Chains A and B, each alone.
Chain A
């Protein structure tokens, strides 16, 4: 019933890294546009990742050695695929665990009742 086109940006900001790591750990390699589409599709357009948030983060993850890239020529343009490294996989697990734990805490804190 409550369909939000987008959550507040503070909420998204804090979770974006976790979301990307999770997607990359499920699907071996993805390119930027694919990630935005996948998130849109999975969340029924409730979460839309902007390019302005996605690419800076991907480049930061690459600099930190969490992801590596592989380029594939598609006609005249190049497509860059992002893949998790070994540390990336561990980081993804940590982040997901941390977030799950956070949700549980928030459940208690905000006294949330399951909506279903």
Chain B
């Protein structure tokens, strides 16, 4: 057994550094270890170079660097198992919460939003970061997989936050969801597909992932979404505008009728009072419905009520399916608001009472607010007019209701005459 010279030791020390060992602590260990190995092998017949090269072969293909990587992995991964189980549990819990919450929402049971919010919150703050960290650490130092996990993390976080914002009716939700989806489709997916072409293992798994991503993005986009197509939405709005013109015409005709009736000579006081009472009730009824339309436009378009009142229906092209609209009109959470489907129904019923009092024999069947038969199922009047409809249809239904109110008003007026 021969001892290594100082130069040889210095050479090995430097070579360890060249081979990528940056931790001084580990390089002390490795230097001593390699020196021991060489000194054991070295004799008069073999030179240092050969023995050194042979010794290095003992460290396997990836060599010394692998030892450092493994050390780092062990040191940073002291909590690996804890993180792993936290990730799994949070993943299960949040996905169950979201699933049950969605079911509740579908059934319009209370507590749905709370469950979804808590579920998405855990998903975004616990599951996703942990998944990202664990995935990031476990992949070999491969640029592509690092980029992949960063893009995946950011896009899924954006989508989660977007969904959360949407449920809480905070602004910017749609923007976040769209950016997240675009990132996922144009950033994550191409790199992911490229990487499976290189790596043939797990192809079925990878194909499933790709399909799930595309389907998921599709679902999110439809759900959050662009809603009706341009052409459909435009034709709805045309219907809205025409009905609105019709309604304004009726309004003018009825107004003129009131004037003429009040001017007519020989009308007794009882009749006069009836006419004035009807005119005032009709006016306040129509004021309520037009305020309600303005309110609905203001919340969907994100403008003030005053702006919405002045808006020209011709300028509106909004087509989105709007959960806000659905919630405000139908949810019990918003029962205190002035303009809900329930309050509208109550106003219509009160108005109907007055019409019946004025003229009992008039047919008021088009002002029915009972349950409606839809596909063999009885549905409350509120739901049949407002549930899960985009803005143009909600406004259209409002105008339809206004038109029936006017028709009833005209019918009663003609009886008074």
Contacts of A90 in B (CB 8 A): none
Given contacts A52-B59, A75-B6, are A57 and B74 in contact (CB under 8 A)? yes
Q: Residue A59 contacts which of B6, B35, B58, B71 (CB distance < 8 angstroms)?
A: B71
What mask results when residues 60 to 103 of chain A are scored 1 for a CB within 8 Å of chain B, else 0? 10011000000100111111100000000000000000000000
Closest to A82 in B: B29
Interface assignment of B26: CB less than 8 Å from any CB of chain A: yes
The answer to whether B59 and A51 touch across the interface, beta carbons within 8 angstroms, is yes
A-B contact count (CB 8 A): 67
For B25, B29, B59, B73, which residue has the most chain A Cβ atoms within 10 angstroms? B29
User: CA–CA, A59 to B335, complex, Å?
Assistant: 64
Known: A60-B71, A63-B75, A76-B9. A55 touches B29 (CB 8 A): yes
Are B59 and A59 in contact, CB atoms less than 8 angstroms apart? no
Instruction: Point out the residue from A33, A56, A64, A78 that lies within 8 Å of B73, measured CB to CB.
Output: A56
**A80-B67 CB under 8 A given contacts A55-B26, A57-B74, A59-B75:** no
- Give the most central of B30, B70, B78: most A CB within 10 Å: B70
Is the CB–CB distance between A76 and B10 below 8 Å? yes
Interface of B is mostly: helix
Contact across chains for B29 and A58 when beta carbons are under 8 A apart: yes
Whether B31 is near chain A, meaning CB under 8 Å from some CB there, is yes
Which residues of the partner chain B approach A63 to less than 8 Å between Cβ atoms? 75, 78
Chain A count of residues within 8 A CB distance of the other chain:
24
The docked-state distance in angstroms from the alpha carbon of A35 to that of B70 is 19
**Does chain A have a CB within 8 A of B189?**
no
Q: What distance in Å separates the Cβ of A10 from its nearest Cβ neighbour in chain B?
A: 16
Contacts of B67 in A (CB 8 A): 51-52, 55-56
Question: What's the dominant secondary structure at chain A's contact region?
Answer: helix
Taking a contact as CB atoms closer than 8 A, the residue among B6, B13, B30, B35 that contacts A55 in the complex is B30
Interchain CB contact under 8 A, A59 and B26 = yes
Task: Give the residues from 289 to 331 in chain B that come closer than 8 angstroms, CB to CB, to chain A.
Answer: none
User: B13's closest neighbor in chain A, by CB?
Assistant: A77
Q: Are A75 and B28 in contact (CB under 8 A)?
A: no
Q: Is the CB of B36 within 8 A of A33?
A: yes
Contacting residues, chain B, for A31 (C-beta < 8 A): 32
Contact residues in A for B78 (Cβ distance below 8 Å):
60, 63-64
Are the CB atoms of B32 and A32 closer together than 8 Å?
Answer: yes
Instruction: Report the minimum CB–CB distance from B138 to chain A (whole Å).
Output: 15
Over the window 12-51 of chain B, the binary record of Cβ atoms lying under 8 Å from chain A Cβ atoms (1 yes, 0 no) is 0100000000000110111111011100000000000000
Identify A33's interface contact among B13, B37, B66, CB under 8 A: B37
On chain A, the residues within 8 Å of B6 by CB distance are 75-76
Chain A, Cβ-Cβ closest to B6: A76
- Collect the chain A residues with CB atoms within 8 Å of residue B60's CB: 50, 52
B273 at the interface (CB under 8 A from A): no
The CA-CA distance from A56 to B28 in the complex, in Å, is 13
B3 within 8 A of A: yes
When distances are taken between beta carbons in the complex, the residues of chain A under 8 Å from B73 are 56
The one of B13, B32, B36, B74 in contact with A56, judged by C-beta atoms closer than 8 angstroms, is B74
Tell me which of B31, B37, B70 contacts A77 (CB under 8 A). B31
Closest-by-CB residue of A relative to B25 is: A59
Question: A63: nearest residue on chain B (CB-CB)?
Answer: B75
Residues of A with Cβ closer than 8 Å to B?
31-33, 36, 50-53, 55-60, 63-64, 71, 74-80
CB pairs A–B below 8 angstroms (20 shown): A32-B29, A32-B33, A33-B36, A51-B33, A51-B67, A52-B60, A55-B29, A55-B30, A56-B67, A59-B71, A59-B75, A60-B71, A60-B74, A60-B75, A63-B75, A63-B78, A71-B28, A75-B3, A78-B28, A78-B32
A51-B67, A64-B78, A75-B9 known, 4 other contacts, Cβ within 8 Å:
A33-B32, A52-B59, A56-B73, A58-B29
